[in-house]
Amino acid sequence: MEQLKIDLHNTVTALSSSLDLVGIDEVKHGKRVAIMAKNVALELGWNKADCLTLLHAGMLHDCGVSRAQEHRNLSEALEWDGAEAHCIRGEAYLRACPPLAHLATDIRYHHTRWELLQDAPLDQSTRLRTNLIYLADRADMLQLPFIGTEQILLECPAIVDYARKQAGRMFAPELVEAFAHAAAEEAFWLSMDPEYLDEELAEFGSHQAQVMLNLDDVRALALLFSRIVDAKSHYTEEHSERVAKIARYLAERLGKTGTEVDLIEIAGLLHDIGKLRVDEAIIEKPGKLTVREYACIRRHSYDSYRILRRVFGQTPIPVWAGYHHENLLGEGYPFKRVPKEIDLEARIVSVADIFQAFAQHRSYRGRLPVDEIIKYLKERVEQGTLDAQVVSVVIDQADACYRLATE
């Protein structure tokens, strides 16, 4: 089976960066949690393998959060009754992704109090790891207003005091003491500055070997990304997965074979990753978008392109996914590409995206029947914006495409 060389640390970092888009006011929360937890683990003398697992779990601990309101709820209260839901979702996402499945249990319990973890079916090392993520997560919520300023040096004793008061209840006593010892250094807090944070993660990642993943594992990583995106709203549920299936189906009928078909499918899965930045209130708005709201929507394909370059930069996936709103008149977005610059594969993803979107219930309209979708696609071809060859295949295979889009 065909393999791709993937930097797994860089992939986790990129996924964490995409999760940052959900909480615009708390950018890099996952990375700060990861670095804090890793520094406490080093204080405890944990081995390199456990520290790496902890770092990756910390970066992805909120992978079950796609909606801005849920992110706000988690940020505004040190304990929120609804917190467990995103832990359960995150565990499910990661268990379905073999390259990252080893992080699933840590994510499942990262909002569980230490006193309750004693009854969980976990070994002690897992209890400590997941509870350390919880400790770092709550500490980050307390330091958030002061990050990047000298004020954090005045406020950090209160954060340590909070942790100590929760020793034995929310947090393991040994973790609290190690946290207090590590946090006594000003560098512990000053390293949370966004500029320094990225440097530290890059330095840590430079010592990690790339791994060879078969395309099934790469597809599982892409599916993880897509499930997080599509969970933004029930109106977009499974949108990316269905776009990927339609794109693969069309590509095969246009003569594409082998690895190229797999990469087109992966591009379809990942085309909307940038939509994590878009508030669900915009996605679910039943009426016409304002100019500002539409501008927010328009930037998502560029964000997709930039995020995917970090993981799949050696492949055409970022371009095929990032160009899904370009058109053949050079009037699309975000790059205004002309026809000779738009690969057939990107044109396939574009048509698949349009077809599935119209076949899906949205906040502003119901699902369209197949004949109306075909009529619209024909009009776009006549206008010169969509590829006639790709659309002709959709017309010939309309019923099959509609099944892939809806069933």
Q: What global pTM score does this model have?
A: 0.89
Q: Does residue 326 register a pLDDT over 90? A: yes
Q: Which domains does the chain have, with CATH numbers?
A: 8-205 (1.10.3210.10), 232-406 (1.10.3210.10)
In this predicted structure, what is the pLDDT of residue 24?
54
In this predicted structure, what is the pLDDT of residue 279?
85
**Mean pLDDT of all residues in 30-35:** 95
Cβ atoms of 232 and 275 within 8 Å: the answer is yes
Q: Which of 31, 275, 336, 375 is catalytic?
A: 275
Share of the chain above pLDDT 70, in %: 98
Q: Does residue 59 register a pLDDT over 60? A: yes
Could you tell me how far CA 253 lies from the centroid of its own chain?
31
Per-residue pLDDT band at 280 (split at 50, 70, 90): confident
Cβ atoms of 146 and 155 within 8 Å: the answer is yes
Report the amino acid identity of residue 177: E
Cα angle, residue 45 at apex, residues 43 and 47 outer, rounded to 5°: 130
Give, as one character, the DSSP assignment of residue 340.
Answer: G
Give the whole-angstrom CA distance, residue 88 versus residue 67: 15
Q: Does residue 292 register a pLDDT over 90? A: yes
Neighbours of 400 (CB within 10 A): 14
Express each pLDDT in 140-186 by its tens digit: 999 999 988 899 999 999 999 999 999 999 999 999 999 999 999 99
**Mean pLDDT of all residues in 260-268:** 96
In this predicted structure, what is the pLDDT of residue 231?
86
Query: Is 275 an annotated catalytic residue?
Result: yes
In this predicted structure, what is the pLDDT of residue 350?
98
Sign of the four-CA dihedral 248, 14, 93, 27: negative
Residue 149's φ and ψ, nearest 5 degrees, are -125, 160
Express each pLDDT in 196-241 by its tens digit: 888 888 887 777 766 778 888 989 999 999 998 888 888 888 999 9
